[in-house]
Amino acid sequence: MHEMSLMGGVFEVIEQTLSLHEVKRVLQVKLKVGELTNAEPDALDMAFEAYSKDTICEGAELIIERVPIRARCRNCQHLFAVKTMFFLCPNCQNTGIEVIQGEELLLESLEVE
């Protein structure tokens, strides 16, 4: 389950961020998760629960925003949403595309007390 390793990285960022501030507890954690990470929200929830146990994040709400895949054609510069894993420009049928959204795993915000 790669969600555990992904969440490990998220908790490294959380710990670095919290070390800069005086925080009693974390109430909410918001993540942006790109479709290409192949991270399942339920598995991320379980990983979050495991990592947060006995920390100031325990009991915090995890909010996951799924980020769809968007691409740009390198040939015609057309921007488009990728609906399937067949990466083909719908405008010119070129296979040379650049993924511009959908690979991210970002800690968007922390709500703390």
46-90 tens-digit pLDDT: 999 999 999 999 999 999 999 999 999 999 999 999 988 888 999
pTM of this structure: 0.86
Quickly count: other Cβ atoms within 10 Å of residue 16's Cβ. 10
Other beta carbons less than 10 A from residue 52's beta carbon: 19
Alpha helices (H) in the chain, listed in sequence order: 2-18, 41-52
Edge to edge, what strands does the sheet with 105-112 contain? 61-67, 26-34, 105-112
Who's near 72: CB < 8 A, 6+ residues apart? 78, 79, 80, 97, 98, 100
Tens of pLDDT along 14-50? 999 999 999 999 999 999 999 999 999 999 999 999 9
